[in-house]
Amino acid sequence: MHTVGRHLIAEFYGCDSGLLNDPKRIREVMIHAAERTGVTMVGEIFHQFAPQGVSGTIVIAESHMSVHTWPENGYAAVDIFTCGGIDPRPGFQLLGKALQAKSFRMQEIVRGIAEDVDENRHLLPEDVQLMCHTAPVRETRKA
Amino acid sequence: MHTVGRHLIAEFYGCDSGLLNDPKRIREVMIHAAERTGVTMVGEIFHQFAPQGVSGTIVIAESHMSVHTWPENGYAAVDIFTCGGIDPRPGFQLLGKALQAKSFRMQEIVRGIAEDVDENRHLLPEDVQLMCHTAPVRETRKA
């Protein structure tokens, strides 16, 4: 069993609350992020909650993308899980800008398993590529 | 910003390949896992790939669940992301049995952010609850 995918897990803070509560616009930015990442969309669901909040998932040929928003906190939880050697980070960077995030946290987890990891021992932190950043989004915008 | 959710990330190995390539049965076991977890489903997508493999996501009132299968490797990647204080582990345990997994890896990540984490420092491994196990699924079955 080889490593099969990269799972980028992002928390966006200080986002535009109006945008976070608008399922049409959330869908648009997620689709834009999918396009920027270069993945192939095969299905989608977006749902608005009462009194507020949007959830959405996009199944892609390379796995999935998801978003959950808490407009009352300016917070969005985003996942971009890609296989096939596709880098999920362009989508992440686009979303930080599109959601007007003031800051973010991001980590990336390797899915599947490296052949050299013995199944009889615990998964250790060094087995997962945990790449975390907290920074103002303006730093991302320079990229 | 409080911690808002628990994101359980599971890799199931040695699963029944026929089951992993059957979108109807994969949908059934995911819905069963959602019911066991006690979440509320609001939408779903399941897709079969050629020549093989199934992907599916279920948007739930508490965030989402997802599955991606590689029948050729007997491997399934599963996510159960719950907010509202719901424990994602009953769904995980059901899936291990239902997919007939011989072994698994599981980790759980806290989504959102604890109030006491300074946004100006990097997210460190101790900031995420990384609870990992590798064990034959028969151990799970005792629970």
pLDDT tens sequence across A71-130: 999 999 999 999 988 999 999 999 999 999 998 888 888 888 645 444 444 444 444 443
Asked whether residue A50 carries a pLDDT value surpassing 80, the answer given is yes
* Average pLDDT of the residues in B51-76: 96
Q: How far is A6 from chain B (nearest CA, A)?
A: 12
ipTM of the complex: 0.83
Q: How far is A71 from chain B (nearest CA, A)?
A: 12
Find the angle CA(A26)-CA(B89)-CA(B96) to the nearest 5 degrees. Answer: 105
Domain that holds residue B77: 3-141
Percentage of chain B with pLDDT > 90?
64
**CA atoms of A82 and B46, how far apart (whole Å):** 17
Q: Which positions in chain A touch B11 (Cβ < 8 Å)? A: 111-113
* Average pLDDT of the residues in B6-34: 96
- Which of A13, A63, A75 faces B55 most closely, judged by CB atoms? A63
- A83 has catalytic annotation: yes
Question: What's the CATH code of the domain at B11?
Answer: 3.60.90.10
Beta-strand relationship, B103-112 and A3-13: unpaired
Q: Which positions in chain B touch A49 (Cβ < 8 Å)? A: 61
Task: Answer for the pair B32, B95: CB distance below 8 angstroms, yes or no.
Answer: no
- Which backbone phi and psi does A101 adopt, to 5 degrees? -70, 135
Asked whether residue A135 carries a pLDDT value surpassing 60, the answer given is no
Q: Which positions in chain B touch A113 (Cβ < 8 Å)? A: 11, 13, 105
**Strand blocks (E) in chain B:** 3-13, 41-48, 54-60, 63-70, 75-83, 103-112, 133-136
- Which of A75, A81, A120 faces B134 most closely, judged by CB atoms? A120
Question: Which of B58, B60, B65, B132 to substitute to test the interface with A, most A CBs within 10 Å?
Answer: B132
Work out how many CB contacts closer than 8 A connect A with B.
137
pLDDT of residue A109: 84
Q: How many domains does chain A have?
A: 1
